Amino acid sequence: MAPASKRRNKRRRAAVIEPAAGGMRLWAPWRYSYLRSAHSATPECIFCFGKLSAAQRKRRLVLVATERSLVMLNLYPYNNGHLMVAPRRHVASPELLSRDERAEIGEVVAAAVRALRSELRPVGLNVGANLGRAAGAGFADHMHWHVVPRWDGDNNFMPVLASTRVLSQSLEDSYRQLSPVFKALEAGLAS
Ligand SMILES: [Zn+2]
């Protein structure tokens, strides 16, 4: 075993893997400056758009777009059928939403879960929002909920080691399968 001072020096240079509650924890303190610089530029907001043609909707993977809410497939999905539900307004946090927006979005999240259950038959789902970049939000200024279907054994070592995900359905196929279900939801919300 190396002396304590040597072990500390080593820790400064390299990421360290240590056991932690619920699994292993990767320590990489040098990533902090990278994470800050990587997010300094503001990318175009993917959730803000005007009226879209059917072709544009398909290209942007938009399944629902009402006055208050939208649903789209995630272009970088964690799993097949990974949906994002968002308000139409560019706001960063749920307390900034109106009561009507919160009511509609609550309905849409429930409808998204129902649609994924009936179309893709997942064993479980993750539903949640990351508020702020530190919490993992890619588009922190426009809040959105993720609705991710899960199957037993769908999470292997690939996402952890190589940022690579194994998906069995293409985004085009997911869009084609889910589109009619969400068209009906959109029509119901508009009426
Ligand atoms: Zn936006």
- Relative to beta strand 124-129, strand 23-27 is unpaired
- The Å distance, Cα 25 to ligand 1 centre, comes to 33
Domain at 54-190, CATH homologous superfamily:
HIT-like (3.30.428.10)
CA–CA dist 26, 21 (Å, integer): 12
- The Å distance, Cα 73 to ligand 1 centre, comes to 16
- The Å distance, Cα 27 to ligand 1 centre, comes to 33
Per-residue pLDDT at 12? 47
Per-residue pLDDT at 34? 45
- The Å distance, Cα 165 to ligand 1 centre, comes to 26
- The Å distance, Cα 50 to ligand 1 centre, comes to 11
Distances (CA, A) of 183 to 11, 47, 187, 188: 53, 18, 6, 9
- The Å distance, Cα 64 to ligand 1 centre, comes to 15
SS3 assignment, position 64:
strand
39, 90, 144, 146: which one is catalytic?
Answer: 144
Per-residue pLDDT at 50? 92
144 catalytic? Reply is yes
Spans of the chain, pLDDT less than 50: 1, 8-13, 24-27, 29-42
For the chain, give every domain's residue range: 4-38, 54-190
Per-residue pLDDT at 38? 44
Per-residue pLDDT at 153? 78
CA–CA dist 62, 186 (Å, integer): 11
